[in-house]
């Protein structure tokens, strides 16, 4: 007997699927980040509280940009939308419960720069409060230097999403000159672009300090000096957004960005399902995906033929169906499919399946057998294109080479004269297959709510690039509250 304690250890494939389904990798990463940020005296008790909060999807957002770029307005709107506290220089310094805030305010009063380590301590202290622990946070205007960004990262304060606004300096100066602040609520308005209709609010508006043209220009110069250092501190989590547009449009772009989950180091096994009518290129796209990423290519039709050729028990059950031209029973296909997709190589490398399911009932049975794709693609194209693709393809019986009347005609007259068309590619047979597909595909498309639809009536490499973009990037999180 082999010693099960020696490496390499064999991990059952189902464990990886369970961990992925319930987000266990993200939970472990979040627990470790919490320990590094908060450094609790009782780590076990802290981790138990973390699990109780279940806040691993809570927002952690940085809103950065030059003066008058609208970052305060966007941060306040986001705070209301996400029910997450907004942290800025002003809100941190206004903390009457913090002795650190009083120390930082003294630097401000002396017109001196607040030290980076003091900002870090202030932010760390603020994040210990329950609202940040439970609901996440939105930091506005910080860090404003590369050194502060590095210091925050060093203590484990790492955002999931970073939004950086930009606009021409002339636009920013003009914006700043018209800026007004509600002294009661802190809401920001503008004399030209966003003047409040409520006369009571108008009475509360005051001109904030430091918005003169000279002061704004000085702050812009300082911002540009630190701009590239800040950009270098944040990688692919950063999104640049043009601030020279209506605030509602900028907010929509921010919301779109934060709905995209950040990249994670958690293990991920692609489970891809390609659906589409005959002639949509499913086999070709599956081959391209398998070739580039080493994913297991699972063609349902080929798998059935291989089972019969190998003489397996399931193959013996399938053979009468093939001999009589009947469709193979769903329960037999699913058993064969489950055996293949539950092998270790499919769990480690992932799989791309095509040729099954063909209708909603088969899809339900597939999920009942715990075959759960995490990417579903529907390749769509018009009926006329399908008929043209299939009914004009032929094969050379001598060389076995495949040709097409329009896309790949035979090079010589002799080869063209001996080309044969398969009976299943006759236009009438193709029309029947297409009609059958569209009769059942509606329910299938509805069943897979998160399916991605791609126009297959274009160059195959272009189609592959579209599919690839959804494979390598996380899918957006649907936020129904927005």
Q: What pLDDT was estimated at residue 8?
A: 53
35 contacts 46 by C-beta, under 8 angstroms: yes
Tokens 């380590």 -> residue: 117
Chain-centroid distance of CA 375 in Å reads 12
Q: What DSSP letter does each residue of 163-178 carry, written as one string?
A: EEEE--HHHHHHHHHT
Using the 8-state DSSP alphabet, how is residue 474 labeled?
P
Give the tens place of pLDDT for each residue, 230-281: 888 887 778 999 999 988 899 999 998 888 777 666 677 889 999 999 989 9
| DSSP element (H, E) containing 436 | helix 427-447
Say whether 299 sits in a helix, a strand or coil.
Answer: strand
Question: What is the mean pLDDT of each successive set of 10 residues along the chain, which is 482 residues long?
Answer: 52 70 79 78 86 79 92 92 92 82 87 90 88 90 92 86 92 81 79 77 79 83 89 84 90 88 74 92 94 92 90 88 87 90 85 92 89 92 88 84 82 83 83 86 87 92 92 64 42
Task: Report the alpha-carbon distance of residue 454 to residue 274 in Å, rounded.
Answer: 11
What would be the CATH architecture of the domain defined by 36-46+57-258?
3-Layer(aba) Sandwich (3.40)
Q: How would you label 377-386 residue by residue, b for 16+ Cβ within 10 Å and e otherwise?
A: bbbbbeeeeb
217 contacts 174 by C-beta, under 8 angstroms: no
Task: Report the alpha-carbon distance of residue 209 to residue 65 in Å, rounded.
Answer: 18
176 contacts 73 by C-beta, under 8 angstroms: no
Read off the tokens for 353: 């399946």
Tokens 């068309």 -> residue: 421
151 contacts 99 by C-beta, under 8 angstroms: no
Give the residue among 62, 122, 65 at the shortest CA–CA distance from 93. Answer: 122
> In CATH, which of 3.90.650.10, 3.40.50.300, 3.90.550.10, 3.60.15.10 is domain 271-472?
3.40.50.300
Say whether 192 sits in a helix, a strand or coil.
Answer: coil
Read off the tokens for 81: 């939308």
64 contacts 141 by C-beta, under 8 angstroms: yes
Task: Report the alpha-carbon distance of residue 173 to residue 178 in Å, rounded.
Answer: 9
Give the residue among 9, 73, 32 at the shortest CA–CA distance from 156. Answer: 32
Close Cβ partners of 471 (under 8 Å, ≥ 6 residues apart): 270, 272, 289, 293, 375
Tokens 């169906």 -> residue: 321
Q: In DSSP terms, which residues pair with 172 in a beta bridge? A: none
CA distances from 379 to 163, 285, 469 (A): 34, 10, 15
58 contacts 114 by C-beta, under 8 angstroms: no
Same topology, domains 36-46+57-258 and 271-472? Answer is yes
Task: Report the alpha-carbon distance of residue 86 to residue 94 in Å, rounded.
Answer: 13
149 contacts 230 by C-beta, under 8 angstroms: yes
Task: Report the alpha-carbon distance of residue 270 to residue 347 in Å, rounded.
Answer: 9
Task: Report the alpha-carbon distance of residue 249 to residue 13 in Å, rounded.
Answer: 45
Read off the tokens for 458: 């274009």
Give the residue among 243, 343, 353 at the shortest CA–CA distance from 302. Answer: 353
Give the residue among 72, 89, 66, 62 at the shortest CA–CA distance from 182. Answer: 72
Read off the pTM: 0.65
Task: Report the alpha-carbon distance of residue 437 to residue 440 in Å, rounded.
Answer: 6
Max CA distance (Å), the chain:
93
Q: What are phi and psi of 111, to 5 degrees?
A: 60, 35
Q: Where on the phi/psi map is residue 212: left (φ > 0), alpha (ψ -120 to 50), or beta?
A: beta
Q: What pLDDT was estimated at residue 1?
A: 45
Give the tens place of pLDDT for each residue, 148-201: 999 998 888 889 899 999 999 888 888 877 778 888 887 777 777 777 888 888
Give the residue among 387, 191, 170 at the shortest CA–CA distance from 280. Answer: 387
In the chain the first and final C-alpha atoms are separated, in Å, by: 58
Q: What pLDDT was estimated at residue 482?
A: 39
Q: What are phi and psi of 395, to 5 degrees?
A: -135, 145
Task: Report the alpha-carbon distance of residue 227 to residue 117 in Å, rounded.
Answer: 20
Domain parsing of the chain, residue ranges = 36-46+57-258, 271-472
Say whether 382 sits in a helix, a strand or coil.
Answer: coil
């Amino acid at each position: 007997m082999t010693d099960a304690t020696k490496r390499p250890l064999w991990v059952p494939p189902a464990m990886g699927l369970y961990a992925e389904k319930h987000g266990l990798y993200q939970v472990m990463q979040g627990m470790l980040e919490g320990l590094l940020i908060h450094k609790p005296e009782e780590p076990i008790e802290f981790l138990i509280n973390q699990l109780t909060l279940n806040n691993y999807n809570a927002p952690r957002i940085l809103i950065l940009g030059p003066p008058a770029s609208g970052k305060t307005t966007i941060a306040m709107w986001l705070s209301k939308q996400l029910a997450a506290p907004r942290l800025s220089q002003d809100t941190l310094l206004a903390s009457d419960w913090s002795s650190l805030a009083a120390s930082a305010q003294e630097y401000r009063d002396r017109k001196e720069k607040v030290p980076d380590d003091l900002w870090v301590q202030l932010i760390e202290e603020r994040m210990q409060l329950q609202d940040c622990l439970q609901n996440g946070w939105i930091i506005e205007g910080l860090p404003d230097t590369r050194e502060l960004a590095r210091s925050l990262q060093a203590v484990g304060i790492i955002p999931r999403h970073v939004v950086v606004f930009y606009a021409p300096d002339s636009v920013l100066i003009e914006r700043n000159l018209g800026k007004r602040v509600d002294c009661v609520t802190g809401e920001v308005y503008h004399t030209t672009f966003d003047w409040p209709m409520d006369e009571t609010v108008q009475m509360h508006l005051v001109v904030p300090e430091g918005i003169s043209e000279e002061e704004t220009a000085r702050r812009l110069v300082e911002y540009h000096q630190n701009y590239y250092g800040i950009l270098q501190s944040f990688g692919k989590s950063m999104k640049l957004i043009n601030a020279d547009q209506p605030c509602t449009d900028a907010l929509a772009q921010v919301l779109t960005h934060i709905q995209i989950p950040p990249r994670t180091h958690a293990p991920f096994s692609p489970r891809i399902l390609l659906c589409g009518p005959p002639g949509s290129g499913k086999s070709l796209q599956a081959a391209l995906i398998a070739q580039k990423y080493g994913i297991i290519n699972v063609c349902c039709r080929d798998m059935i033929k291989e089972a019969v050729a190998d003489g397996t028990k399931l193959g013996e059950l399938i053979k009468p169906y093939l001999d009589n031209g009947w469709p193979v029973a769903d329960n037999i296909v699913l058993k064969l499919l489950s055996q293949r997709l539950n092998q270790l190589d499919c769990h480690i490398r992932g799989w791309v399946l095509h040729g099954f399911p063909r209708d909603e009932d088969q899809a339900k049975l597939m999920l009942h057998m715990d075959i759960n794709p995490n990417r579903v693609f529907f390749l769509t194209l018009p009926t006329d294109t399908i008929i043209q693709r299939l009914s004009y393809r032929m094969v050379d019986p001598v060389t076995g080479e495949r040709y097409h009347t329009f896309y790949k005609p035979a090079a010589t007259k002799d080869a063209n004269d001996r080309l044969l068309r398969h009976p299943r590619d006759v236009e009438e047979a193709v029309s029947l297959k297409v009609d059958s597909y569209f009769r059942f595909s509606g329910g299938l498309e509805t069943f897979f709510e998160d399916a991605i639809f791609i126009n297959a009536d274009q160059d195959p490499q272009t189609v592959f690039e579209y599919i690839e973009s959804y494979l390598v990037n996380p899918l957006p999180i649907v936020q129904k509250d927005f």
